[in-house]
Chain A
Amino acid sequence: MSITHLLFWILSVTALGSALMVVTSKNLVYSVLYLIVTFFAISGHYILLNAQFLAIVNLIVYAGAIMVLFLFVIMLMNLNADVEPAKKNWLKIAGALAGGCLLLVMVAALKDADYKNQIAQTQNGEIGLIQNLGMVLFNDYVVPFEISSILFLSAMVGAVVLGKKEKNE
Chain B
Amino acid sequence: MNNILQLVWLIPLFPLLGFLINGLARKAMSKSLIGIVASGMILASFIVSVLVFIEVRKGNTQAVVLFDFISFDKIHIPFSFLADQLSALFLLIITGVGFLIHVYSTSYMHEESNEHFGRYFAYLNLFVFSMLLLVLGGNYLIMFIGWEGVGLCSYLLIGFWFKNNDYNNAANKAFIMNRIGDFAFLIALFWLLSKTGSLTFNDVFSKTDLLSKTDITIVTLLLFVGATGKSAQIPLYTWLPDAMAGPTPVSALIHAATMVTAGIYMIARSNILYTMAPLTQSVIAVIGLATAILAASIALKQNDIKKVLAYSTVSQLGYMFLGLGVGAYTGAVFHVMTHAFFKACLFLGAGSVIHAMHSQQQDIRYMGGLRKYMPWTHITFLLACIAIAGIPPFSGFFSKDEILLAAYAVNPIYFYVGAAGSLMTAYYMFRLYAMTFQGSFRGTNEQEHHLHESPVAITFPLIVLAILSVIGGLIGIPELFMKDGHSLAEFLAPIFAGSLKLQHAHAIDHNTEWILLIISVGVAVGGSIYGYLRFSKNPELTDAKGFGKLLENKWYVDEIYNAAIVNPIRALSKFFSKIVERYVVDGMVNGVGRSIQYGSRQIRLLQSGQVGNYILLMVFGIVIFFVIEFFLKKG
Contacts and interface: CB of A to CB of B under 8 A. Distances in A.
A91 B616 contact: yes
B610 to A, nearest CB: 9
Nearest to A100: B623
Given A87-B612, A95-B612, A109 B626 contact: yes
A98 B621 CA distance: 10
Contacts of A109: 626, 629-631
A99 B619 contact: yes
Nearest to A113: B630
Contact of A94 (B616, B622, B623, B626): B616
A161 interface: no
B514 interface: no
B620 interface: yes
Contacts of B626: 102, 105-106, 109
A160 B629 CA distance: 44
Interface string A64-96: 000000000000000000000001000100110
B627 interface: yes
Given A109-B626, A109-B630, A102 B616 contact: no
A95 B613 CA distance: 9
B627 A105 contact: yes
Contacts of B620: 98, 101
Give the dominant DSSP class at B's interface. Answer: helix
A8 to B, nearest CB: 26
Nearest to B617: A98
Nearest to A110: B630
A91 B612 contact: yes
Contacts of B627: 105
Interface string B351-390: 0000000000000000000000000000000000000000
Contact of B616 (A95, A105, A106, A108): A95
B86 to A, nearest CB: 78
Nearest to A105: B626
Contacts of A102: 619, 622-623, 626
A94 B615 CA distance: 11
Interface in B589-618: 612-613, 616
Residue of A98, A99, A106 most packed against chain B (CB within 10 A): A98
A23 B630 CA distance: 30
Nearest to B622: A102
A102 B627 CA distance: 10
Contacts of B629: 109
A101 B616 CA distance: 12
A105 B612 contact: no
Interface in A19-75: none
Given A105-B626, A106-B626, A98 B612 contact: no
A93 to B, nearest CB: 11
A87 B616 CA distance: 13
Nearest to A98: B619
Contacts of A106: 626
A105 B627 CA distance: 7
A22 B613 CA distance: 21
Nearest to B627: A105
A106 B627 CA distance: 9
Contacts of B616: 91, 94-95, 98
Residue of B612, B613, B620, B623 most packed against chain A (CB within 10 A): B623
B6 to A, nearest CB: 66
A162 B620 CA distance: 33
Contacts of A87: 612
A108 B632 CA distance: 13
A109 B619 CA distance: 16
A94 B618 CA distance: 12
A98 B630 CA distance: 18
Interface in B176-213: none
Contacts of A99: 619
Interface string A96-122: 001101100110110000000000000
Contacts of A108: 630-631
B632 to A, nearest CB: 12
A108 to B, nearest CB: 8
Contacts of B622: 102
A96 B631 CA distance: 22
Contacts of B623: 98, 101-102, 105
Nearest to A104: B623
A46 B291 CA distance: 104
B242 to A, nearest CB: 77
Contacts of B619: 98-99, 101-102
A98 B612 CA distance: 12
B621 to A, nearest CB: 10
B444 to A, nearest CB: 88
B635 to A, nearest CB: 15
A87 B612 CA distance: 10
B617 to A, nearest CB: 9
Nearest to B613: A91
Contacts of A95: 612, 616
Contacts of B630: 105, 108-109
Nearest to B619: A98
Contacts of A94: 616
Nearest to B621: A98
Nearest to A109: B630
A104 B630 CA distance: 13
Interface in B294-322: none
B373 to A, nearest CB: 93
A106 B631 CA distance: 11
B630 to A, nearest CB: 4
Interface in B231-275: none
A101 B613 CA distance: 16
B161 to A, nearest CB: 70
24 contacts: A91-B612, A91-B613, A91-B616, A94-B616, A95-B612, A98-B619, A98-B620, A98-B623, A99-B619, A101-B619, A101-B623, A102-B619, A102-B622, A102-B626, A105-B623, A105-B626, A105-B627, A105-B630, A108-B630, A108-B631, A109-B626, A109-B629, A109-B630, A109-B631
- List the 6 closest A-B pairs by CB distance, nearest first: A109-B630, A98-B619, A105-B626, A101-B623, A102-B623, A105-B623
Interface of A: 87, 91, 94-95, 98-99, 101-102, 105-106, 108-109
Given A91-B616, A98-B620, 16 more contacts: A87-B612, A94-B616, A95-B616, A98-B616, A98-B619, A99-B619, A102-B623, A102-B626, A105-B627, A105-B630, A106-B626, A108-B630, A108-B631, A109-B626, A109-B629, A109-B630
